[in-house]
Structure 1
Amino acid sequence: MQKALLLFILLGCSSLATAQNRYFVLFKDKAGSNFSLEKPSEYLSSRAIERRNKQNISISTNDLPVNQSYLEILKEGGAEVLFTSKWLNGAVIEIDKNDLNTVLGYDFVKGLEGEYSNGLEGPNARRKPNTKDYSYPVFFDAGASTDQLQMLGADVMQNQGFTGKGVLIGVFDSGFPNAPNLDVFQNLFNEDRVVETYDFVNQEENVFNDHYHGTHVLSCIAADLEGQMKGTAPGASFLLYTTENVFSETRMEEVNWLIAAERADSIGVDIISTSLGYSNFDGKEQDYTYSTLDGNTALITRAADLAASKGILVIASAGNEGNDPWKFITPPSDADSIISVAAVNSDGQYAAFSSLGPSVDGRIKPEVAAKGVATTIASPNNLIGAGNGTSYAAPLITGLAAGLRQAFPDLTAMELRDIILKSGSQAGQPDDKLGYGIPNFLRAYEMANIQSLISSTDENILVFPNPAENTDFIKVLIANEELGNSFELSLSNLSGQELYRETFKRNYFELPLLQEVRPTGTYLLKIWNENFSETKRIFIE
């Protein structure tokens, strides 16, 4: 896949070690921009534009790059511009604190999003107390990843040819050391399916010399070593971005995530997978509280929802805080338009360390679950081992989503999200541990087919197959959602004899072909409620 050539403003790559004062300055407008909504190809790839068009998402003002003249004025005033954000319309700068008031006095400056540490290791830094790593490298027999694929039906998905081919996934993590040299990734790199890499912490392209966590995570999706390990989407393409600084915990990492998401959007990413969460920081004054899990407060949460608004499916680990005093999900899992993922063991039972919901405003969180206990992973030392954590459950779901995206390329990201949730093992009774439960490819595949049927018809009711031959069921779909959600159904022969009657409270129903209707012939299927009544002829062959 050819790498997109886009406007990507990453300025000021001088030594981070000397950075002292970092601020996210917001602008009032994009007046006088060199770019326009009428020429999106100047700042979005054709793939990004196509994704929007398919989902009827308009190019909007927050897609426009920030005003270049504003950046020049900032630099003339002594600021070093590190990143720009088109979605929030601002820039991350480094400047002496004594000169900050001058910047805030510019007539185009709206104010500050925040002040940030540069995130380097120091005497007050703490090494990720809220991101636990339970990995333990061990040797496995061939096919150690089989059960985590089977749990989701991903083995069936791949047998049907859906490996995520053509789907672009952005993985945001702490680094991917030695990934190009690992056996499980040889197909990935030999086929040039790593489209781009970038380290937003150190501002460099190399992501293969950082922290091992991202390598573990990537293997859950992309591993492809026959007989030993397969990820859930071994045929997908990837953007590999380092946004997490493991040597400390600061809100700058949320900024890194935002900028990475904007970059991934511009290239044309389909899915963002992130096994990162933020609640506690160096310096307690910036810690989030449960009351801030409202889907609108944390910067990374807002960034995740903005990505979703561009037609990107965002999948995040729920967190490993279930046994801790915090115990709840961590941002960005509280975002309302993404999928947050809990962990279960090989028996599908809740893992005690998995973070709990709901969000503070009562939304179901996490949404789904996958194997996060003794999950098969690949390590930078070229061993296949195991690890515990929602960090590994989330990428397993990401691969499932990629296979479904390949199978149903016309679904919107929100339709795909909805289908994955509804395919969950406890979709009828979601809870604050596993949400809608463990999703399954075959259930999701059938639902996606139904969604496609609904989108392609103007009829109120669809009955199929019709004529029916060599089948034990006739499927009935109420395609018009305005008709309600509770229906009566009766099946009669042409003599008026009622052979079958049922009440159902959903828009999809499988009518068993009982012995009474086995004979070849024509029958009348009546469906009604207080809003409507309709009769269909069905033919049994």
Structure 2
Amino acid sequence: MRVSNKSTATTSTAVHTRIWFLLLSILIQSNCFSQGKYLVLLNDKANSPYSVNKPEQFLSQRSILRRQKQNIPVRERDLPVNPAYITQLQQAGAKIWFPSRWLNAVLVEATDATLATIQKLPFVKGLDFSRSLSSRRISAEATLTTISKLAKVEQDSLAYGDSKFQVEQIGVDNMHRQGYHGEGMLIAVLDAGFRNANQVPFLKPLFSESRVLATYNFVRKETSVYEGDDHGLQALSAIAATTDNQLYGTAYKASFVLLCTEIGNSESRLEEANWLFGAEYADSVGVDVISSSLGYSTFDDASTSYTYQDMDGKTALSSRAAQIATETGMVVVVAAGNEGNKPWRYITAPSDAVSVLAIGAVTQTGQRASFSSFGPPPDGRVKPDLVARGQGVVLGLASGLIGTGNGTSFATPLVAGLAAGFWQAHPQLTAAQVTASLRQSGSQYSTPNDELGYGIPNFERASALAATYSQLLVYPNPFSETEPLAVQWGEIAANTPIEATLINLAGRVLWRNSATYSGLTTFVLPNLNLSAGLYFLTLVSGDKKRTVKVIKR
């Protein structure tokens, strides 16, 4: 569901892209007639030719450096699917579409008979969702945007035109004024098509400066993304466009990877699988920020639809993928959904993932847009995380004109551009710290609600928080027992033991746990039935001991 050093990076990404597509071209050769697409889960990665000690075999140098900078190890989860298993799946009669490193799975197309054979293979664990991901029902999707041509306005000091309202609302005008426009940052946009993106005048600098580093269409298994749907183009324009007196994107000098994962004329779980493959691709080429204006809740085949209870950050395929994406060191920014005035009402996957920034929509005056999805998830966490302008957003159209649109689809890329520029301004931060800073910069961080989450983010407020990361940060604060409690402690080294103790005002120990510090350590509190109020969290690592006040909501 649609809800929208440079030379070194270019060279390493291009080389890795060619290798990636070469491998895919080998994998997908098959002429078997088939009736359904299934995500086949595998038991292991035993006897793999790949090694975590040689990540350059399957990750670009930029991707490796992103992990190293954040003390994120390359794990077995990052290893590609064992090629021997893929070969045996082909020999069993399956048509191979895409493998998934993170889930150790392969999307195959197979008849019922072939599927039965596949499930008997000793290395096959089972099927994700236990049935075909593709839907046989096709229905037209109503557009989520309302477009109107804008009158030309007088040039202001920064030539934003009418887009200045959406830029100023989140402090990006100050970000630009300080010289941060996304230079050197790599943003992946996962969406439907980017029709005419390589031709429209408002994106001309993006292409003339060769800042689109890679493209891929996971729906059609090809590199072309510039035809078909234009929803991705509109979302991209909110980040990347440059048109004096009309529209400037929030990170208009960033570089981009454009990935088509959405099937325009149907709605099925297959699109979530495409989202997974897109996120893995983004990771492998070294993307810093993912912006995705897509959301999933109900499907054409109602029997495959999710329920509200499934929006727990762990059930939906796209949510599992989005969470893993954050754990590889990317900032993931996704649309909360346009269900606020519909029967579903609540946020959609993958915005329910714990560590993503789920973005809702507000008007120019900061009020919730009527369509913006509500939180909370069924486990009570704060969602949406943040909001930005999503009603009357100035954006670019496939016709080459500048217009306006409505949807969390367009609030999302505004915040993704903010995240890229903020990270550019504070490169010492980890992705988790960028996410936490933006959350805490929200206009109502101390009093979040189910409509706006933590509120409207702001570049200056987030920047003021950045300095604190050299010391100790515990978040979320206020916290709830349904949210993991994250600790970032700049004074201690990675791979250092850390012990956490929660104490009440009377000094009684309520909970204690220990872990190995990895740059970001997350503690999951048991159900302690805590009353709302003030508590103390004591952290000990070696000779260092710190106690911080935490508030239970």
The two structures share one fold, judged by TM-score above 0.5: yes
Q: Residue 297 of structure 1 aligns with which residue? A: 315
TM superposition shift of 1:173: 0.4
Q: 1:36 aligns with which of 48, 51, 59?
A: 51
Q: Residue 444 of structure 1 aligns with which residue? A: 462
Q: Residue 280 of structure 1 aligns with which residue? A: 298
TM superposition shift of 1:137: 2.8
Count of residues paired in the alignment: 465
Amino acid at match of 2:117: T
Q: Residue 513 of structure 1 aligns with which residue? A: none
Indicate conservation of the 8 Å contact 2:39/2:133, yes or no: no
In structure 2, distance between residues paired with 1:366 and 1:216: 22
Q: Residue 127 of structure 1 aligns with which residue? A: 140
Say if 1:483 and 1:203 are closer, same or farther in 2 by CA, change over 3 A: closer
- Which deviates the most, 75-84 or 2-11? 2-11
Say if 1:328 and 1:228 are closer, same or farther in 2 by CA, change over 3 A: same
In structure 2, distance between residues paired with 1:506 and 1:354: 34
- Give the secondary structure class of the aligned counterpart of 1:26: strand
In structure 2, distance between residues paired with 1:457 and 1:267: 28
In structure 2, distance between residues paired with 1:257 and 1:101: 26
Render the CA deviation track for 1:251-293: whole Å, top value 9, x for unaligned. 0000000011111101001111000001111111011110111
Query: Are 2:77 and 1:62 aligned?
Result: yes
Query: Are 2:95 and 1:80 aligned?
Result: yes
TM superposition shift of 1:149: 0.4
In structure 2, distance between residues paired with 1:24 and 1:125: 21
Q: Residue 144 of structure 1 aligns with which residue? A: 162
Say if 1:86 and 1:230 are closer, same or farther in 2 by CA, change over 3 A: same
Amino acid at match of 1:140: A
- Give the secondary structure class of the aligned counterpart of 1:425: coil
TM superposition shift of 1:483: 12
Q: Residue 531 of structure 2 aligns with which residue? A: none
In structure 2, distance between residues paired with 1:483 and 1:125: 53
In structure 1, distance between residues paired with 2:236 and 2:30: 30
Q: Which runs of 4+ in 1 moved over 6 A?
A: 13-16, 481-486
Within a 5 Å distance, the mapping from 1:128-207 to structure 2 comes to 128=141, 132-142=143-153, 143-207=161-225
Q: Residue 541 of structure 2 aligns with which residue? A: none
Say if 1:323 and 1:456 are closer, same or farther in 2 by CA, change over 3 A: closer
TM superposition shift of 1:485: 13
Say if 1:144 and 1:19 are closer, same or farther in 2 by CA, change over 3 A: farther
TM superposition shift of 1:216: 0.5
In structure 1, distance between residues paired with 2:264 and 2:415: 24
TM superposition shift of 1:450: 3.0
Render the CA deviation track for 1:179-202: whole Å, top value 9, x for unaligned. 111111111111101010001001
Indicate conservation of the 8 Å contact 1:339/1:417, yes or no: yes
Q: 2:361 aligns with which of 313, 338, 343?
A: 343
TM superposition shift of 1:15: 8.9
Q: 1:358 aligns with which of 371, 376, 386?
A: 376
Query: Are 2:396 and 1:378 aligned?
Result: yes
Q: 1:20 aligns with which of 35, 46, 64?
A: 35
Indicate conservation of the 8 Å contact 2:206/2:240, yes or no: yes
In structure 2, distance between residues paired with 1:337 and 1:305: 6
- Give the secondary structure class of the aligned counterpart of 2:234: helix
Q: Residue 445 of structure 2 aligns with which residue? A: 427
Indicate conservation of the 8 Å contact 1:364/1:435, yes or no: yes
In structure 2, distance between residues paired with 1:210 and 1:146: 30
- Give the secondary structure class of the aligned counterpart of 2:322: helix
- Gap regions ≥5 residues in structure 2: 1-9, 154-160, 473-487, 493-499, 506-533, 537-545, 549-553
Indicate conservation of the 8 Å contact 2:329/2:431, yes or no: yes
Q: Residue 326 of structure 1 aligns with which residue? A: 344
TM superposition shift of 1:506: 13
In structure 1, distance between residues paired with 2:502 and 2:183: 38
TM superposition shift of 1:140: 3.0
In structure 2, distance between residues paired with 1:453 and 1:15: 58
Q: Identity percentage over the alignment?
A: 44
In structure 2, distance between residues paired with 1:342 and 1:19: 40
In structure 1, distance between residues paired with 2:121 and 2:429: 45
In structure 2, distance between residues paired with 1:390 and 1:453: 35
Render the CA deviation track for 1:88-147: whole Å, top value 9, x for unaligned. 10111112111211111111111111433546xx6x312236xx5132131232412111
Q: Residue 91 of structure 1 aligns with which residue? A: 106
Indicate conservation of the 8 Å contact 2:134/2:270, yes or no: yes
Who wins on radius of gyration, i.e. which is larger? 1
In structure 2, distance between residues paired with 1:57 and 1:447: 23
In structure 1, distance between residues paired with 2:124 and 2:177: 55
Say if 1:39 and 1:128 are closer, same or farther in 2 by CA, change over 3 A: same
Query: Are 2:260 and 1:249 aligned?
Result: no
Say if 1:58 and 1:118 are closer, same or farther in 2 by CA, change over 3 A: same
Say if 1:4 and 1:140 are closer, same or farther in 2 by CA, change over 3 A: farther
- Give the secondary structure class of the aligned counterpart of 2:162: coil
- Which deviates the most, 109-118 or 91-100? 109-118
- Give the secondary structure class of the aligned counterpart of 2:149: coil
Say if 1:118 and 1:285 are closer, same or farther in 2 by CA, change over 3 A: closer
TM superposition shift of 1:449: 2.6
TM superposition shift of 1:55: 1.0
- Give the secondary structure class of the aligned counterpart of 1:164: coil
TM superposition shift of 1:228: 2.0
Render the CA deviation track for 1:208-252: whole Å, top value 9, x for unaligned. 002011110000000112222100000111010000001000100
TM superposition shift of 1:352: 1.1
Say if 1:37 and 1:173 are closer, same or farther in 2 by CA, change over 3 A: same
TM superposition shift of 1:383: 0.6
In structure 1, distance between residues paired with 2:490 and 2:191: 42
Say if 1:385 and 1:108 are closer, same or farther in 2 by CA, change over 3 A: same
Say if 1:181 and 1:71 are closer, same or farther in 2 by CA, change over 3 A: same
Indicate conservation of the 8 Å contact 2:470/2:491, yes or no: no
In structure 2, distance between residues paired with 1:218 and 1:359: 28
Amino acid at match of 1:153: G
Indicate conservation of the 8 Å contact 1:274/1:394, yes or no: yes
